[in-house]
Structure 1
Amino acid sequence: MTPTKPVREIVYVGTYSVRGSQGIYVFSFNRANGTFVRQQTVANAKSPSFLAIHPSGRYLYSVNEEDDQGDDHSGTVNAYAIDPQSGELSFINQQRTHGQAPCHISIHPNGRLAFVSNYGSGSLSVLSLLDDGSFGEVVQRIQHTGKGVDPERQNEPHVHSAILSADSRFLYVSDLGTDKIYLYAVDEENATLTPHSTPYITVAPGSGPRLVSVHPNDQFIYCVNEMSSTVAIIRRDIAANTFELVDDNVRFLPESYAGERSGGDIHVDAAGRYLYVTNRGNNALAGFSIGTEGRLTYCSLHYTGGDEPRNFLVDDQGDYLFVGHQETDRITVFQRDAATGELRATGQELSVPASVCLLMLRLE
């Protein structure tokens, strides 16, 4: 009988290039005791902040948020090959996004398209991915227009993220500057995006939509609004091909809270039973249970163990939740009860300067 090959779990961390950060950090994760061992640091001084993994598990991609190339002051994206044994990275190529300050990247399940959100220029870039995992050219660039009610933060569009529906037919693009979540139909064959008949969902003025998380059943989309620290719920009727805003004011901060509102990250667990969301103003992680109609019921509020919980990772196995803190240079570890959604801080910490994005890959 052939012995079972042990599973190796790798955690990748994207960072801002401050306080001595060297770029992208690669760790192996020991599930039995919840600890990490650093394996590699990939040098990148242009703030490789947000990361994405190719559906094959063979390539990793980063935005370079602080790069500035050419007459259009374009940001860039990097492609890396993932070693199938160690999970370590090797550089493949770099491509311009033809947009400024790219802050988010996602990959289509077909492995041939990348969607890059250019926060600074308020645009969305679609790039081709080639057979060797490298970036091809920008095949489509969509420029948003308009502004919101906040003259300092919403004087122009700010595309913050682009997340695919579970069936990959739609791309949900959060624009903090215009208080809109844009709905684009994805044409895989022609590698193009076209607006849905309802081109966008508008949330309350001054909310600042930042990022969505899609329920596994594909019927509910949850958006964290950065500026109001609220959650918006959008219902998708798959059969009718329609979208409807159900609620754009689900609060997750205490009634008495008067501090900074700065929604950070949002995730639905793999089972579709619980939702988690962070506020960077009070360094808190809120938990909700998800009802059969997609409604949220408040369950808990946890101190995350650091300052500015910008990003967190919910373990697909249901056992752990990791929180990256942008300002205190640490990642904290919580054990998670998959049945109740409850979290317990383990006391384990991982030192990483200015962590912005956490991803896990299982090598089998």
Structure 2
Amino acid sequence: MRLAALLYLLLAGTMCSAETLVYFGTYTRGNAASEGIYVATLDEATGALSQPRLAAKADNPSFVAIAPGGKTLYAVSETPWTDDDSVGIVAYSIGDDGTLKQLNQRSTRGGAACHVAVHPSGKSLGVANYSGGSCASFPINDDGSLGEIASFHQHVGSSVNPRRQQEAHAHSINYNADGTQAFVADLGMDQIVIYDVDSESGKLAPSQQRSLKMPAGGGPRHFCFTPAGKIALANLELTSDVALLRYDDAARSLSMLEVASTLPGGQAVPGNSTAECLVHPNGRTAYVSNRGHNSIAVFRIDASNADIQWIENEPTQGEIPRGFGIDPSGKFVVVANQNSDNVVSLQIDPETGSLSPTGSEITVGTPVNVRFLKR
């Protein structure tokens, strides 16, 4: 009996120690109250967020990504590029208490590194440089640190918006499920630029289909796949739209299907722009954040008919919702409101995908990006 009781207590302790960490990338420059990367916990039963803690001091770590296995985190440093020593990407090990310890840092050879994605194998990562209008990739060493740069590609081009599209502006990089290709949304060129990926070295090389041309003046910003990998989304920052795309992995090709407005009734909201797009793990619902309208647009996706339909817009209870994340259980959306220094959680209706407030709100200075680690 004593042995059985001891085993029960050990098992119960292990179960109770399980937690879902939430990491927040932020802006630290200017009048920002942030000091770097913050971490909180999410209660996956209620959606309640704990008070955030500083995980690591960092310079403008606006976007972070966590490697498969949950041992390391990578953060961009969205700062100007002045020379070959300018830091663009930083590697961290994740401690037992959720804090971060810097492993090393690298130059991304371009200004304003704004987005990072880890290859599905965990052996490399890709970075998009916004003002540099370029992308780069790096191998990941066995200890999680970053090796020397594996590849660098300078984008060249423009589009029709005279203020935002006079030159290339790479805004995100994402891999397909098996990591054979990478997709860089370039806001300045109105293109999704496509690269083939060497799985061992992490090197990027232009694919046979060099790019997919997007609607003129749309400004593709972020990009994501549905779980099945046959459908993708790209939010168009400048026109408050989301584009539904078809991906043929056998042909290594991407094509346009249709475009939907992220605003109620498609009515323009002066000053609005979109920031993030994500697909729910069930593959039936998609979400896009509106900065200005201060809402999350909810869409239903019908992959079989290649159709996307607007459901609703849910207020984010703050100003300029930048990034957001869907928790691992698929029950909650956690939203970072950049200009009001607050993060809120919204509950996802399991049937419709619609959102409603949980009542949980925490303060994080200038939050930009949300990433989860369940362990």
**TM-score relative to the length of structure 1:** 0.94
- 1:177 maps to 188
1:194 to 205, 220, 244: 205
Output the CA distance in 1 between the equivalents of 2:182 and 2:81. Answer: 27
Instruction: In structure 2, list runs of 5 or more residues that go unmatched.
Output: none
2:322 to 310, 314, 327: 310
Output the CA distance in 2 between the equivalents of 1:179 and 1:256. Answer: 22
Structure 1 range deviating more: 229-238 or 101-110: 229-238
Output the CA distance in 2 between the equivalents of 1:273 and 1:20. Answer: 37
Where do 1:1-364 residues align within 5 Å?
A: 2=7, 3=11, 5-6=14-15, 7-17=18-28, 18-38=31-51, 40-66=53-79, 68=81, 71-72=83-84, 74-83=86-95, 85-247=96-258, 249-254=259-264, 255-291=266-302, 292-363=304-375
Identity rate, percent: 36
Output the CA distance in 1 between the equivalents of 2:47 and 2:253. Answer: 42
Change (3 A) 1:38 1:90: farther
Higher helix share: 2
Instruction: In structure 1, list runs of 5 or more residues that go unmatched.
Output: none
Output the CA distance in 2 between the equivalents of 1:317 and 1:189. Answer: 31
Output the CA distance in 1 between the equivalents of 2:78 and 2:193. Answer: 22
Shift of 1:256: 3.3
Structure 1 range deviating more: 254-263 or 46-55: 254-263
Which digits, 9 at most, give the CA deviation of each residue in 1:233-253, with x for residues without a partner?
221123333322112x31121
Question: Do the aligned residues in 1 keep the contact of 2:55 with 2:98 (CA within 8 Å)?
Answer: no
Give the AA of the match of 2:70: G
Higher strand share: 1
Shift of 1:189: 2.9
Output the CA distance in 2 between the equivalents of 1:30 and 1:241. Answer: 40
Question: Do the aligned residues in 1 keep the contact of 2:76 with 2:88 (CA within 8 Å)?
Answer: yes
Question: Do the aligned residues in 2 keep the contact of 1:275 with 1:287 (CA within 8 Å)?
Answer: yes
Which digits, 9 at most, give the CA deviation of each residue in 1:44-101, with x for residues without a partner?
35201100001121001100112645x3573421111112x32221121111111111
Which digits, 9 at most, give the CA deviation of each residue in 1:118-170, with x for residues without a partner?
11110101112111111111111000001111122111100000011122221
**TM-score relative to the length of structure 2:** 0.92
Question: SS at 1:74's partner residue?
Answer: coil
CA RMSD of aligned residues (A): 1.7
